Amino acid sequence: MNSTPPSSRAFCKLTSVFILTFEDWQDFILIKQLEIHKSMTMERKINDYQKLLPLMQEASLPDLDTYDKLMRYQTTLNNQLSKQIGELMELEKTYAK
């Protein structure tokens, strides 16, 4: 029969599971360093994006006065095109007879 008490045997089994070599610790530290570096890089990218977001939004949209002028210009061009198409259709009817 085993002379060590059951609690000691359980402790020995648990400690043997957690015994790590020096290389294991080096690998663990390297992995953690890489994770920290990745997190810091992501945080830096997020901060850069947050700084640039207002500039990108401003650059991509015109101010309201310019937008209004563009919409009126588009409406004018659409009306002119519609008028020209109508005149062309009338000419086709006239010369098709």
pLDDT tens, residue by residue, 12-59: 555 556 678 899 999 999 999 999 999 999 999 999 999 999 888 878
Q: Quick one: CA dihedral 64, 70, 72, 75, positive or negative?
A: negative
Same domain, 57 and 83: no
pLDDT at 2: 53
Same domain, 73 and 92: yes
Same domain, 32 and 57: yes
pLDDT at 56: 85
Same domain, 24 and 57: yes
Average pLDDT taken over every residue of the chain? 85
pLDDT at 62: 81
Give the chain's largest Cα–Cα span.
120
Can you give the residue range of the structural domain that contains 36? 20-61
How many domains are contained in the chain? 2
Same domain, 56 and 29: yes
Averaged pLDDT for residues 53-82: 90
